Copies of this chain bind each other. A is one copy, B any other.
Amino acid sequence: MMDFDTILHNIHRHIELTQAESHQFCNLLNYKKITRKTLIQEAGSPCRILNFVISGGLRSYCQNPNGKEATIMFCFKDWWVTDMYCFINRQTAMMEIEAMEDSEIFQLSRDNFDRLLEMNPKFERFFRILMQNAYSREQLRIIENLTLPAEERYFNFIEKYPFIANQVTQKQIASYLGITPEFLSVIRKNKGRGIS
């Protein structure tokens, strides 16, 4: 069943909409049920869609020339995700987005995104706040990556995102932290070091 409650609640965290406005907004959304392992965005193909997760879990990641994979983000219920740079600049995507499990999402096309902002400036505010938060979050992540060793980054991660740490594989966590799965395994084994 198409359930707009989650997304409307998400929107209402930052702006207030009338019934009519909510309805207008929902009309621009495309509901989609996807199965585990589906790629909803492929690298190299145009990035025309902003996704909102209703249920399930997605992962966006980037494959670099030498084959190393970097996980950009894990997205569960209530998260927005796309290859933002390419979405905004109407370029072909650099990253891929895969369903880690069967999921339900709403999709907002780039054209509808423009329409939405034009038709109701409240959404400029909404997305300003969304981008602002995303920007701050990424900045914190950069600081951690630059200043902390892998072990501390891992413990910070499971403390900050305990839910995610439980839902995804170690290999995926390793690719989020920028280390190899083998090394993450070693870190986990050493967990209790120093405690006799």
Contacts and interface: CB of A to CB of B under 8 A. Distances in A.
Task: Identify whether the interface residues of A are mostly helix, strand, loop, or mixed.
Answer: helix
Interface of A: 62, 64, 66, 68-70, 72, 84-85, 88, 117, 121, 124-125, 127-128, 131-136, 138-143, 145-148, 175, 178
Contact of A136 (B68, B88, B146, B175): B88
Given A85-B136, A131-B132, A72 B125 contact: no
B125 A121 contact: yes
Contact of A138 (B88, B127, B142): B142
B140 A85 contact: yes
A70 B147 contact: yes
Given A131-B135, A141-B142, 4 more contacts: A70-B143, A88-B132, A124-B125, A127-B132
A18 B44 CA distance: 41
Nearest to A85: B136
Nearest to A149: B66
A68 B148 CA distance: 9
A9 to B, nearest CB: 21
B128 A85 contact: no
A191 B138 CA distance: 31
B147 A68 contact: yes
Contact of A72 (B70, B131, B143, B148): B143
